[in-house]
Amino acid sequence: MKRIVMATGLGLLATGCASEQARSPDPAFVQSATQLADTYQANLQAELSAAMKQVGPVGAISVCQSVAPALAADLSSNGDLAVSRVARRNRNPDNAVPAELDALYQQLEREPLRDGKPHVVAATIGQREVFMRALPMKDQPCSQCHGTNIAPDVKAAIDASYPDDRATGFAAGDLRGAMLVMRAAP
């Protein structure tokens, strides 16, 4: 059984083999992971709102499709941290939650917000340090492309690019996905 040590907020929860010594995530890792997730999120939001203004939701879909992975790859090429977005109900199957991170993701599903802020979990899993932060669904602009009532032209454009789309039907406050930052443990 894999040993997972999770620090959620101020609490520390240890699961797995009790005989093994627990390893908490390095606070310096959590700090730099937070910064990287912030940068990625801010850049994505800027690109998305510019695209929504310039080309509308239909055009913005292809911007998301090309910009989101490219930005993640670019930000992950600078150091030893890699950033991405993951979701169980994903639009792009490349963004699936890796099996070994499922327990962490479940924590966010149970409680997307904690003390009014996106829930953060951090753990050392195997040889890797892992940081995950909830991406709660918002009404605007998210619902135009992930909500319960998507305009037909937007829906058609989504289906054309993502035939296996599972990322609609979300309500504000639901867990839409998570920011994921990982580092190979020293």
How far apart are alpha carbons 162 and 15 in whole angstroms? 37
Core vs surface per residue 20-57: b (16+ CB within 10 A) or e: eeeeebbeebbebbbebbeebbebbeebbeebbeeeeb
How far apart are alpha carbons 170 and 148 in whole angstroms? 6
| The only residue of 23, 128, 138, 155 in contact with ligand HEC, by rule CB under 6 A | 138
Q: Is 112 in the site for ligand HEC (CB under 6 A)?
A: no
CA neighbor of 47 nearest in space, from 21, 24, 71, 25: 71
| The only residue of 120, 130, 135, 182 in contact with ligand HEC, by rule CB under 6 A | 135
Site string for ligand HEC, 92-111 (x = CB under 6 A): x--x----------------
Q: State the number of binding residues for ligand HEC (CB under 6 A).
A: 25
Q: Is 57 in the site for ligand HEC (CB under 6 A)?
A: yes
CB of 25 closer than 8 Å to CB of 122: yes
CB of 64 to ligand HEC, least distance (A): 4
Footprint of ligand HEC (CB under 6 A): 48, 57, 60-61, 64-65, 68-69, 85, 87, 90-92, 95, 135, 137-138, 141-142, 144-146, 167, 176-177
